[in-house]
Structure formats: structure tokens, C-alpha cells
Amino acid sequence: MGRSLRTFAAYTQPFTVKNARHATTGCPFSKRQRSQIAPTAELSEEIFSNAKPYSEVPGPKPIPILGNTWRMVPIIGQFDISEFAKVTQHFLDRYGRIVRLGGLIGRPDLLFVYDADEIERIYRREGPTPFRPSMPCLVKYKSEVRKDFFGELPGVVGVHGEQWRRFRSKVQRPILQPQTVKKYVAPIELVTEDFIKYMENARDVNGDLPHEFDNDIHRWSLECIGRVALDTRLGCLSSDLTSNSEPQRIIDAAKFALRNVAVLELKAPYWRYVPTPLWTKYVNNMNFFVELCSKYINEALERLKTKKVTSENDLSLLERVLRSEGDPKIATVMALDLILVGIDTISMAVCSILYQAATRLKQQEKMAEEIRRVFPDPSKPINYADLDKLHYTKAFVREVFRMYSTVIGNGRTLQEDDVICGYHIPKGVQVVFPTIVTGNMSQFVSDPEEFKPERWLESDGRLHPFASLPYGFGARICLGRRFADLEIQILLAKLIRRYRLEYHHEPLEYAVTFMYAPDGPLRLRMIER
């Protein structure tokens, strides 16, 4: 029996045993104890007293003085960051469904949890101010280096507790309201048409896109985010940019962030103690983004003074926030946060989705048929309600996220002691949900090695809703997810409607830079349909 793509609502429904779809047979962990604790149950004294001690959680043993950090050091260490996907899989194979990586110099223990039931329980009990450990560089930048600017309203990214809750509650409604998102269909369609023209011009005689096509995808996502967060066309898709032009500087700044934040955070964290040259560049780069946002927010503010407004619907996202909050700083910080996390995520996701479409022609044809059916006249503008009818196309994207989780995992720092997989875990531990692995585990997903978009449209088969959560879950769920979905759907609808994508080079391996994406030149071929 068919069903429309499970929406987020399906994930937020209260837990009932009836809804849970568990493996019962054929599971490598079939002998293991499932969590005996219901997702929302209070943890009783009895549960704590029956739990095994934290010290018994399995995991790689730290060596004296160097702890476990040495394992991440290139050459001497056994785990390379770009191999993170393999490392997390190795942890599961070697130690089981819960793994402790302790002894990391200068940071709390990491606890990897490979059990979708436990992940569900942790998410559902996380309280009103979940703590997602992330972006230590940004935390230092916002809370120390530019405390003068961010003050008491530092945004949502890298911010926690009451400060996070206050800021999120100011911007969440306008950002996530479908009526706001709907207003961006036409602007994103225009940006995407320009991008497709750009691609058409960039092709060689065979129709192959250039080696640096993944950079071009970044230009498109920058242009989209500029339209959404700054109410402007940044001009990043122009082909004749001079090195000192603003769009080129934006592209360079985004590229710098993409290439270096991972290095700073994962490979060279010495900036925590001394301002290294790379750290100084990072700060200058961030200052550039702050100035950029301030400039465009001031322009929007000026426009708003003379704009005729009869209803809220006449206002853009930015204008709504400017009007309702009356403080341009809030709009600036919101724009900055959206830009900081809204470029790489979507760009890498699109690299992955287009590569999968180009190497899975049968499924691409099914998408093309559906897109043609929903949008029979390519000259007519796209409308929001019709995008919702792209069930198979959305399921294709969901399946790419399941199999090749762009964001390798999510996490929470425990704010209270907990019992996870039968162990007493102290507060302060950073729990990692490695969706890159759990989305491919047979006890949570039937035939996980099969790329099968249909699984998201059918009601049979195993598909645990917490095994693959591309946008996270709960109060801290991705703030830009509606825009991300919109941008991806419009790109696929426009591109695949007109072109068949192919790939005729060496197969690309996936690797973790910061995100998980095909590693190497994405030389897709575009053939007119």
C-alpha cells in the first residue's frame, strides 16, 4: 500500500509501541537487550542502581599521557578524520552498540550510540534547552573575540542554554512558517535558472562540467542564502568576477571557511591556547561575514522605512524579523547564523544528490517522469503546492541522506546523568549519534545496502525513524530545513526536467571533510532530454 513521504510530523508523534518498527529477526544484535526505558519515562533510582558503571563501557583504551587523541593524529594515529565514516563503523564492529572514546586531551569523552531506540529516547527526553556540542571556533569567536558585537544575543549556532532559547524563540516562527518559505519559491527559481545557464556555458564539447563544478554548486547555494537571509542577489553566479569584487570575496570567504574550519577544529586545535596564523585568518574571515550581514541588514532597514505594507505577507523573512524585533542586531545575527551553516550543508548535500542521480539512471528517469507529470509546461513558474507532489523525487533525496548521511551525525552533551544501553552515563559526556552508520544498519532498515527510494513511500519493511535523521530532531532541529528542502527540490525540478545527468569518470569515493560527500572532481555530464 502506498503512502506519501513520511514527513517530519511522523517523527514528532508521541512514541507508541504500535508505531515502532523494530527488527525481530536476522539482526546481528538480536540477542541484545533492547532499552527497557520508554522514550519519555522518568529514570528511577532502580534503573540507575541496576545500571553498569560508566567505566565498563567498551571502547579503545587511552594510553597514558597521550590519551586517545594520538589516534586522530595523522601518520602515527590509526584513525584519519577523512575516514570518520569507516572509524565509526569500526567502533561498532569492534565494540558493539555503545562505545566510549575517552582520554581526549582538552575535551570531554565521546560516547557513540548505535541504537536507534536509545537515540530516540535521548532526543525525546532532552528538555527545553538541548546542548549540541559544535563549532568550538565559532563559540570562541562569538563569546570572546567579538563579545562586543554579539553580547547577550549571540544567535543559535554554538550557543546554549537560556541565551540559545531566547534567540531561537525570536526567529523560529518566521523562519519555519510555510507561508514565509512559500514566498521564496520564485526568487530561488530565478537563482536556479541562472545557475543552470551558468552550467550550460561551463560545459565542454561532450557536455561534461568542469573539474571545479563542486565550487560552482557553492556559488549557487551562496546566491540562494543571500536571497533568503540578506534580501539581496549577491552576484556570485556572474562569470566575470574580478578578484576584489564583493561576490568574489564572498566566494573566497566561504571557501576559506569550508577548507579551514575542519582543520582548525579537528587537526590543529592549538588556537585554543595561542592565536595561530590560521586562527587569525579565521577571525578576519568571520569579521568579513559580520560586516557583510550588517551592510545588507542596514539596506533592508532603509527600504523597510518607505515600503507600503498592508499585511505580514508583504514582508520578507528579514523584514518580518526587523519589524517584530525592532533590533537590527537580531536580524544581523540571524542572517550570519543562516549563512554560516546554510552554505556547506546544502552544497555538499547537492553534490551527493546529483552524483547519485547521475550514477543511478533508472531512478533518475523515474524522477524525470514525475517532474514532467507535475510540471508539464516548463515555461510556467513553479508553485509551492506542486512541489509537494514530487513524492518520488523527495524519497530519492531522503534515500541519499539515509545511505550517505551528509551530516555525519548529530550529538548532545548530557545535561543530566542518564542510563544508556544499560550503563550509567554521567552528565557532561558528549553523546554522538552516528547517523552515517545507523541509517545503514539492518536491524533498523530492511536491506540497507539497497538504494531504494520506494522504502520511504511504502508501509512495509523496517525503517526506524531515528536511524536516519538528516536534519536532527526536537527543539534544536535544523532551522533552515524548509529552505534546504525547497532549494533542493527546485534545483532537481528545473535541472532534471531538462537534462539527463550522467557520469563517465572514475567512481568517486565518499569522504568526510566536514560533511560527507563524494571526494573528487564532480564532472557530471548534462545531456539535453
Which of 85, 87, 261, 341: binder of ligand HEM (CB under 6 A)? 341
Cell, residue 400: 541519499
- Read off the C-alpha cell for 61: 583504551
The DSSP code sequence of 201-270 is: HH--TTSBPPTTHHHHHHHHHHHHHHHHHSSS---TT-S---TTSHHHHHHHHHHHHHHHHHIIIII-GG
Q: How do strand 98-101 and strand 499-503 relate by DSSP bridges?
A: unpaired
Between residues 72 and 334, which has the closer beta carbon with respect to ligand HEM?
A: 334
Position 156 contacts ligand HEM (CB under 6 A): yes
Q: Residue 318 CB, nearest distance to ligand HEM (Å)?
A: 12
Selected from 478, 490, 491, 526, the binder of ligand HEM by CB under 6 A is 478
Kindly indicate which of the ranges 138-146, 281-289, 476-484, 519-527 contains the residues binding ligand HEM, using the contact rule CB under 6 A: 476-484
Query: Taking a C-beta distance cutoff of 8 angstroms, is the pair 58, 98 a contact?
Result: yes
Instruction: Indicate which single residue of 476, 494, 500, 523 sits in contact with ligand HEM (rule: CB under 6 A).
Output: 476
- Buried b / exposed e along 468-479 (16+ C-beta atoms within 10 A): bbbbbbbbbbbb
Task: Check residue 472 for interaction with ligand HEM (CB under 6 A).
Answer: yes
Q: How many helices (DSSP H) and strands (DSSP E) are in the chain?
A: 20, 10
Q: Is 338 in the site for ligand HEM (CB under 6 A)?
A: yes
Pairing of strands 524-528, 499-503: antiparallel
Q: How far is the CB of 473 from ligand HEM (least distance, A)?
A: 5
- Give yes or no for residue 157 binding ligand HEM (CB under 6 A): yes
Closest approach of Cβ 51 to ligand HEM, in Å? 26
**Nearer residue to ligand HEM within complex by CB, 208 or 399:** 399
Among residue numbers 33 through 92, which ones bind ligand HEM (CB under 6 A)? none
Nearer to ligand HEM, 23 or 340 (CB): 340
Minimum CB separation of residue 515 from ligand HEM in Å reads 8
Smallest gap from Cβ 354 to ligand HEM, in A, equals 13
DSSP state at residue 141:
I
Within 113-132, which residues bind ligand HEM (CB under 6 A)?
132
Q: 345, 364, 443, 468: which one contacts ligand HEM (CB under 6 A)?
A: 345
Distance CA 86, CA 91 (A): 9
**Cβ nearer to ligand HEM, comparing 130 with 448:** 130
Contact by Cβ (8 Å): 208, 200: no
421 known ligand binder: no
CB of 174 to ligand HEM, least distance (A): 12
Distance CA 38, CA 332 (A): 41
State how beta strands 418-420 and 98-101 pair: unpaired
CB of 399 to ligand HEM, least distance (A): 14
Segment 220 to 239, residues that bind ligand HEM, using CB under 6 A = 225
Contact string 272-311 vs ligand HEM (x = CB under 6 A): ----------------------------------------
Whose CA is closest to 512, among 71, 83, 74, 72? Answer: 83
Burial class of residue 305, CB neighbours in 10 A (0-12, 13-18, 19+): exposed
Q: Is 337 in the site for ligand HEM (CB under 6 A)?
A: yes
CB nearer to ligand HEM: pick between 68 and 345: 345
Closest distance to ligand HEM from the beta carbon of 495 (Å)? 16
Q: In the window 403-442, what residues touch ligand HEM (CB under 6 A)? A: 406-407, 410
Stretch of 25-33, 145-153, 376-384, 479-487 contacting ligand HEM, by CB under 6 A: 479-487
Total residues at interface with ligand HEM (CB under 6 A): 26
Sign of the torsion formed by the C-alpha atoms of 266, 272, 276 and 281: positive
Q: Are 460 and 328 in contact (CB under 8 A)?
A: no
Min dist CB 328 to ligand HEM, Å, is 19
What kind and span of H or E run contains 513?
none
525: DSSP letter? E
Instruction: Assign residue 360 a region (left: φ > 0; alpha: ψ between -120 and 50; beta: otherwise).
Output: beta
Question: If binding is defined by CB under 6 A, does position 483 make contact with ligand HEM?
Answer: yes
Phi-psi region of 434 (alpha: psi -120 to 50; beta: other; left: phi over 0): beta
216 part of the interface to ligand HEM, by CB under 6 A = no
Contacting residues toward ligand HEM, per CB under 6 A:
132, 156-157, 168, 225, 337-338, 341-342, 345-346, 349, 406-407, 410, 470-473, 476-480, 483-484
